[in-house]
Amino acid sequence: MLAFEIMDRRITFFTLKEFVAEQMNKQQYEGFTICHLQKSNMTDIRSYEPMRTDSFGMSIILKGTLGMRIGFSEQEIHENMAFLHSPTTIIEFLEMNDDLEMISFMFSLDFAKKIGMFFQGKSSLDFLFDNYLKVFSLREPVVKRFVVYLEHLREVNLSPTPTKHQAEIIKSTFALLNYEIESELMDHVIGQVVLSGRKEKLCLDFITLVVDQFHTHRSVQHYADCLFVSRKYLSRVIKEVTGLSPLQIIEQTLMAEVTAKLRSNFYSISDIMQQLNFSDLPTFSKFFKKNTGQSPILYRKELLT
């Protein structure tokens, strides 16, 4: 099972807000962020520890070299290369050069849908979800253009006061960036199966439902019924688009919530169990141990040591 091949080590979950908390407090819009990252300001990211975020994103290496595991494949990424991730992508940083510099662009699913980023012809979601294309090279002029777009978005979003047509400027710049990504990556997917818009939309609708309902519904059949498709068809499409089964996505989403709550001192294990509708502590512990190899009590104890 692809999602659980490294589950003997816990997967750290970062929300978009946690990842850039200081910057998020200054932004006009919470649904996306652009930030410059260097080895010195990535101290919260532990090497050799798998992690996921709740966002879609692209990071471009501007200088130095980054060794990482993405989608369970080890990669060495250097200047003028980029990598993509989605909420289902597991990332693990293995090695960073001291001079590493990269610019990262992350956005939430709700924000992307709000500005109409998807479903207008071919979508960049193809590439974000593509099981074969997570890391790719960019020509230097393209990198420079992308950086200009991203810096512009960052400047507009960090403006102390809203400006005239700010929302329209952000949406238009997003669209331009989207088209540029599609244009550049098209050469990389020649010969590969291109996903249809209908399949992308079904996958996106499924993930949206899971995020909304995983607290109470963990049956693949429930989501198939909500989407008016058969369980078999839903499973086939989700596997084709994401490389994961629907159940793996449901369980990963649930695990992300569980681990986030265990990292907080505001909830007891009993509170977490009840909030996430586990019938009893043994059932909760069995689920957690299946996915991490340790009990929730031991997991929390290790966090405090």
Burial 16-47 (b: 16+ CB within 10 A, else e): beebbeeebeebebebbbbbebebeeeeebee
Higher-confidence position of 111 and 295: 295
pLDDT of residue 231: 97
Q: Which residues contact 42 (CB under 8 A, 6 or more apart)?
A: 93, 96
Note whether 15 and 260 are within 8 A (CB): yes
Whether the predicted pLDDT of 166 surpasses 90? no
Mean pLDDT, residues 70-91 taken together: 81
Going by their DSSP bridges, the two strands 12-14 and 101-107 should be labelled as unpaired
Alpha-carbon distances, residue 26 vs 45, 54, 55, 161, 162 (angstroms): 22, 20, 19, 10, 12
Q: Provide mean pLDDT across the span 87-106.
A: 85
Q: What is the pLDDT of residues 140-151, one digit of tens each?
A: 988 988 888 888
Q: Are 60 and 192 in contact (CB under 8 A)?
A: no
Q: What is the pLDDT of residue 223?
A: 97
Domain residue ranges of the chain, discontinuous segments joined by +: 2-189, 197-304
Please, which pLDDT band fits residue 64 given cuts at 50, 70 and 90? very high
Radius of gyration of the chain (CA): 20
Give the per-residue pLDDT at 119. 41
Q: Is the pLDDT of residue 202 over 70?
A: yes
Tokens of 247: 């159940």
pLDDT of residue 210 exceeding 70:
yes
- Fold (CATH) for 2-189: Jelly Rolls (2.60.120)
**Domain covering 197-304, topology:** Arc Repressor Mutant, subunit A (1.10.10)
More confident residue, 182 or 31: 31
pTM above 0.85, yes or no: no
Q: Is the pLDDT of residue 73 over 80?
A: no
Residue 118 has pLDDT above 60, yes or no: no
With 90 as the cut, is the pLDDT of residue 63 above it?
yes
